[in-house]
Amino acid sequence: MKQIRLRAAAKINLYLEILGVRPDDYHELVMVLQSIDLSDTLTLTSIPGHQIRLICPHPLVPVDRTNLAVRAAELLQQSMGIDRGVEIALKKRIPVAAGLAGGSTDAAAVLAGLNVLWDLGLTQKELRTLGASLGSDVPFCVMGGTALATGRGEVLTPQPPLENLHLVLAKPADLQVSTAWAYRTYRQDHLAPGTVVERSRTNALLAAVASQDPARIAASLHNDLERAVLPAHPEVAHLRERLIEAGALAAMMSGSGPSVFGLARDLDHAGAIHAALAADPHLETFVCTTQPTGVRLEKD
Ligand X SMILES: Nc1ncnc2c1ncn2[C@@H]1O[C@H](COP(=O)(O)OP(=O)(O)O)[C@@H](O)[C@H]1O
Residues marked as binding?
95-105
Please report, in range form, the residues annotated as the binding site for ATP: 95-105
Taking the least distance from each CB to ligand SUD, the nearer of 39 and 256 is 256
Distance between alpha carbon 271 and the CA centroid of its chain, in Å?
23
> Which has the closest alpha carbon to 256: 176, 190, 202?
176
Taking the least distance from each CB to ligand SUD, the nearer of 12 and 73 is 12
Is 61 near ligand X (CB under 6 A)? yes
Taking the least distance from each CB to ligand X, the nearer of 67 and 77 is 67
Q: Using CB under 6 A, which of the segments 27-35, 45-53, 100-108, 211-219 binds ligand X? A: 100-108
Active site residue 91: no
Q: What angle do CA 206, 14, 138 make, to 5 degrees?
A: 105
Distance between alpha carbon 207 and the CA centroid of its chain, in Å?
22
| Single residue of 106, 154, 224, 226 touching ligand X by CB under 6 A | 106
> Which has the closest alpha carbon to 72: 124, 114, 26, 102?
114
Taking the least distance from each CB to ligand SUD, the nearer of 132 and 250 is 132
One-letter amino acid identity for 2?
A: K
Is 285 near ligand X (CB under 6 A)? no
One-letter amino acid identity for 214?
A: P
Residue at shortest CB range from ligand X: 103
One-letter amino acid identity for 25?
A: D
Is 102 near ligand X (CB under 6 A)? yes
- Residue pair 287/166 in contact by the 8 Å Cβ criterion: yes
Q: Using CB under 6 A, which of the segments 91-99, 111-119, 165-173, 230-238 binds ligand X? A: 91-99
> Which has the closest alpha carbon to 250: 197, 213, 210?
213
Q: Which long-range contacts (CB under 8 A, 24 or more apart) does 264-269 make?
A: 264/166, 264/167, 264/168, 264/214, 265/166, 265/214, 265/215, 266/166, 267/166, 269/166
For 39-55, letters b (16+ CB in 10 Å) and e give: bbbbbbbeeeeeebebe
Q: Which does 183 bind (CB under 5 to 8 A by kind): ligand SUD, ligand X, none?
A: ligand SUD
- 211-270 residues in contact with ligand X (CB under 6 A) are 255-256
Q: Which of 11, 40, 92, 106 is catalytic?
A: 11
Residue 266 CB, nearest approach to ligand SUD (Å): 27
Active site residue 2: no
Q: What angle do CA 8, 98, 262 make, to 5 degrees?
A: 90
Q: Which of 40, 106, 137, 224 is catalytic?
A: 137
Residue 35 CB, nearest approach to ligand SUD (Å): 12
| Single residue of 16, 36, 69, 117 touching ligand X by CB under 6 A | 69
Q: Which does 27 bind (CB under 5 to 8 A by kind): ligand X, ligand SUD, none?
A: ligand SUD
Q: Which residues make up the interface to ligand X (CB under 6 A)? A: 61-62, 66-69, 96-104, 106, 179, 255-256
Q: Which residues are catalytic?
A: 11, 137
